[in-house]
Amino acid sequence: MKRNSVLAFSLIIAIVTTMLPAAVLADTNEAAVEASAKYDVVTVTKLETKTNVLDLKAKSAVLMDAASGKVLSEKNSHERLAIASVTKVMTMLLVMEAIDSGRFTFDDKVSVSEYSAGMGGSQAYMEPGEEFTVTEMMNALAIHSSNDVAVALAEKVSGSEETFVTDMNNKAQELGMKDTKFMDCTGLNDDGYSSAHDVALMSRELIMKHPKVLQFTGKWHDTFRNGSFDLYNTNKLVKFYANCDGLKTGFTSKAGFNLSATTCRNNLRLVSVVLGEPDSNTRFAESRKLLDYGFANYEVINLDKRGNAVGNIPVKKGNKLSVSAVYGTDTSIMVSKGQKGKVEKEVALVPGLSAPVEINQKVGEVIYKIDGKEAGRFDLIASERIDKVSYGRIFSKLIVRWFSLGRA
């Protein structure tokens, strides 16, 4: 009888073992392939950049796709130049970062220091000791380019303008702005410099990461101090160029006339930057020329939907044999008009995973190509959580099952 029981138990172990997933039975010493494993590397080839095809008078200029950061046209885009009040793009970026990180809100009050009230140039004529909400100040900064407001907000964020400027330069390094050095938060100090390309980088960061800023930069008119002071946007494109909702003008005698502009049409958002223009009208005309060129020659096409499955990935030691890889976001790319039918797709998945696998864990990438050149790259994620199954748990269940069979 005892011998029969042992044989029965051995038979149960053998049968259940053959039914278990291979993932569970894998050698515990075998190296697991995690989501951090290297993907098949695809060489990135930049779009062909058109160099001054528009015969611009600007000393430096660039047209950039905001979503991808790809340069569509440029002229001396890395030349270091004074940028005047275009500096305030970085000022707005750090303010918006502070707001979106929860350090303060649009409704919080900002006190006006004697130092900030003493700024020259464009200003909102604030008095020391006055208080205004962040919303009121952002209006004055984005629309009217008020220097006193820029300093007051800098003090709100970093405690002093000096510390804020350090933060500005640190952020510039983080964004890869290699031709930039800020000297103040206003652009009044002409010893500071940047380039059209760097201005486009920080402009892109501002509008893509903090789109709420467009509710300020896209206004043509507002008021300050309970309606007693009119604010008119220094960026005329906001009123006279369809869908333009930003971003920042700048002028000093050394810098000339500058503009970082942004417009979105049919899901294509462009950033144009012109620096060192001879006069105000030319900066607006050449900004329009850049934007017109972009919208005439490029378009955004929608490709795949968030959540759509791409394939399955084996999972070792998991309560399921595999996990589905899905698109982590809706995918779309910018292409030259007429190239929609040329888009090819490559999927790169990790070859395997070890449990536990977290939901939304990155498990691969999808790469879209046109004529062999990369046009877009997006993450693929795990569709669900896969829990780890331990050997102890497996065999405890086997023993329980064996005894229950024995009693039966």
The two structure tokens encoding residue 252:
């000093």
> Among 300, 327, 356, which residue terminates a domain?
300
Token code pair at residue 336: 């030259």
Would residue 226 be called left, alpha or beta, if left means φ above 0 and alpha means ψ between -120 and 50 degrees? left
Catalytic choice (60, 73, 77, 85): 85
Q: CA-to-CA distance for 146 and 332, rounded, in angstroms?
A: 38
User: 300, 316, 344: which is the final residue of a domain?
Assistant: 300
The count of domains in the chain is 2
Residue 408: inside a domain? no
Q: Looking at the structure, tell me whether residues 161 and 139 fall in a common domain.
A: yes
**Contact by Cβ (8 Å): 33, 349:** no
User: pLDDT by residue for the chain (408 residues), tens digit each?
Assistant: 444 444 444 544 444 444 444 333 333 222 222 223 232 222 233 344 556 678 999 999 999 999 999 999 999 999 999 999 999 999 999 999 999 999 999 999 999 999 999 998 999 999 999 999 999 999 999 999 999 999 999 999 999 999 999 999 999 999 999 999 999 999 999 999 999 999 999 999 999 999 999 999 999 999 999 999 999 999 999 999 999 999 999 999 999 999 999 999 999 999 999 999 999 999 999 999 999 999 999 999 999 999 999 999 999 999 999 999 999 999 999 999 999 999 999 999 999 999 999 999 999 999 999 999 999 999 999 999 999 987 666 666 567 666 666 555
Which among 77, 113, 122, 145 is annotated as catalytic? 145
pLDDT at position 399: 74
The predicted structure's pLDDT at residue 38:
31
**Do 70 and 14 lie in a common domain?**
no
- State whether 271 and 254 are in the same domain: yes
CATH of the domain at 382: 2.60.410.10
Residue 387 and residue 311 share a domain:
yes
- Is there a catalytic annotation at residue 317? no
Kindly state whether residue 401 falls inside one of the protein's structural domains. no
Q: Are residues 23 and 98 in the same domain?
A: no
Tokens representing 125?
Answer: 């004529």
Task: Answer yes or no: do 284 and 216 share one domain.
Answer: yes
d(CA 398, CA 321): 20
DSSP-derived secondary structure letter, 32 = P
Q: Is residue 40 part of a domain?
A: no
248 and 275 belong to one structural domain: yes
* 44 lies in some domain: no
pLDDT of residue 391: 64
Residues sharing a CB contact under 8 Å with residue 204, sequence separation 6 or more, in sequence order = 64, 66, 69, 271
Q: What distance lies between CA 99 and its chain's CA centroid? A: 17
113 part of the active site: no
SS3 125: coil
Backbone phi, psi, residue 146, to 5°: -70, 120
d(CA 340, CA 380): 22
Which domain covers residue 308, as residue numbers?
A: 6-35+303-391
Q: Which of 253, 269, 300 is the C-terminal boundary of a domain?
A: 300
> What pLDDT sits at residue 392?
64
Residue 288 has what pLDDT?
A: 98
Residue 26 forms part of a structural domain: yes
The answer to whether residues 166 and 233 belong to one domain is: yes
Give burial (CB, 10 Å; 0-12/13-18/19+) of 115: middle
CA 94, 99, 105, 106 dihedral sign is positive
The answer to whether residue 282 sits within a structural domain is yes
Give per-residue burial for 55-85: e unless 16+ CB within 10 Å, then b: ebbbbbbbbbbbbeebbbbbbbbebebbbbb
Q: Say yes or no: 346 and 248 in one domain.
A: no
Specify whether 88 is catalytic: yes
Q: Which residues pair with 181 in a beta bridge?
A: 193
Do 315 and 266 fall within a single domain? no
For residue range 211-239, list pLDDT tens digits in order.
Answer: 999 999 999 999 999 999 999 999 999 99
Strands 343-349, 309-316: pairing kind: unpaired
In this structure, what CATH number is given to the domain that contains residue 98?
3.40.710.10
Whether residues 77 and 211 share a domain: the answer is yes
In a domain, 42, yes or no: no
Residue 404 is assigned to a structural domain of this protein:
no
The verdict on 91 and 147 lying in the same domain is yes
Of the residues 73, 75, 77, 88, which is catalytic? 88
Tokens linked to 33? 């392939």
Q: What is the pTM of this model?
A: 0.81
C-alpha 86/C-alpha 97 separation (Å) is: 18
What is the end-to-end Cα distance of the chain in Å, rounded?
15
